[in-house]
Structure 1
């Protein structure tokens, strides 16, 4: 009988001890949460590609501990909306001032867009060779060179030497990034006023830049445009 009472008391005391310990831990966690101050910072809601104009639906306010917040983190969404992403943002990335720029700022510095190790080179284009002026900054193009080779032949009847021109075209460069069209380095929107341009600025390695300049002086350059639609995305949509 005594051992039975002892067992019951041990169980009760164990339960009481467990409850007291649980309450202590819970109170401690509550106290810690109350003592931690949070601040709201602007972060990307989804993947934002470089040179994308940032809109309200691409960003959100995220709560972070005040002590862990970056001192330069932007805390007002209005400071970000309408600006241009200067790099790719992953989802949930806190946005800092040097991550964004205005269209006016970017239009002054094409050097900021050039990938390290590459060069910017401009070529003359017209309405036809620029795909009816439909090529935009950040498009991918191939460069076609059309040249004329003149073969001198003799007329079999008179013996007179005559010129026999032969025109040929070849793909000079493949998958070239367009940095700018005319002086515009930002992709146009429905509100952008149409201005016909007569030059395109391409991003090339130094070797290919030299190749393009030589080709432009020896024949006619034409750009052909790649699709921006990803085949994998199309297949997923169809499924």
Structure 2
């Protein structure tokens, strides 16, 4: 008899313990969550390259905890659209003010684009010598010098400089996009060493200068695409 009573008490206590356990778990699951305040900040959808114009399809608003948001993080996409990336901005990066600038601001600071140890030198060009005004900032060109041979009196052309980086065309420092208004330019600014700067200035005063354009397509990229 006693064994039966003990068994019944054990079963009842087990049921009570089980009920209490499930009640505790249920209370844990239904307890109110801690409220975390979120704020929207502007982030990149994909990598944005230096000097690239930032358009709406390159950015998005993302929500982050207010406590973890950078104090200078931009919260309004309108403050970013149309600006220029001053450096490469990685995909998913929160955009900060010092990473972007306006075209007007950048046109005043061509010195920011010059590689250390080099110089910026402008030369006069026309529609023909600038490859029909199709040369863009960041293109690579060779410089051709056409002049009269003092010994023979014949007109000669030779490659004066090779693989020269273009900093600006006219006053435009960034590559044009489909919506960019066409403006014919009459000068191009090149990045040169000090010695090459002297060479091209002398050549422009003793003959005619013409630019020839390099391809931007990398042979290795072509091979990868074919594979």
Per the shorter chain, which TM-score range? 0.7 to 0.9
The alpha-carbon deviation at position 43 of structure 1 amounts to: 0.9
TM-align CA RMSD: 3.4
How many corresponding residue pairs? 222
Partner residue in 1 for 2:154: 165
Q: Structure 1 residues 148 and 41 mapped into 2: Cα distance closer, same or farther (>3 Å)?
A: same
- Please report how far the alpha carbon of residue 94 of structure 1 lies from its aligned counterpart in structure 2 after TM superposition: 0.9
Structure 1 residue runs of 5 or longer lacking an equivalent are 152-162
Once the 2 structures are TM-superposed, how far is the Cα of residue 91 of structure 1 from its aligned partner?
Answer: 0.5
Which segments of structure 1 move beyond 4 Å, counting only runs of 4 or more?
Answer: 16-24
On the 8 A contact 1:150/1:166 being kept in 2, the answer is: no
Matched, 1:212 2:212: no
User: Unmatched 5+ residue regions in structure 2?
Assistant: none
Distance in 2 of aligned mates of 1:164 and 1:178: 33
SS of structure 2 residue aligned to 1:173: strand
Q: TM-score of the superposition, structure 1-length normalised?
A: 0.75
SS in 2 for 1:115: coil
For residues 22 and 110 of structure 1, do their structure 2 counterparts lie closer, same or farther at Cα, with a shift above 3 Å needed?
farther
Cα distance in structure 2, aligned partners of 1:231 and 1:173: 19
Distance (Å, rounded) in 2 between the aligned partners of 1:127 and 1:115? 28
Go from structure 1 to structure 2 and tell me whether the alpha carbon gap of 1:66 and 1:148 turns closer, same or farther (over 3 Å shift). Answer: same
Output one character per residue of 1:184-204: Cα deviation in whole Å (capped at 9) or x when no partner. 223333444433322110122
CA distance 1:23–1:94, shift in 2 (3 Å): same
Task: State the alpha-carbon separation in 2 of the partners of residues 18 and 223 from structure 1.
Answer: 81
Between the aligned partners of 1:218 and 1:17, the Cα distance in structure 2 is 96
| Conservation of the 8 A alpha-carbon contact between 2:123 and 2:189 | yes
Rounded Cα–Cα distance in structure 2 between residues aligned with 1:191 and 1:231 = 29
Q: Which residue is equivalent to 2:166? A: 178
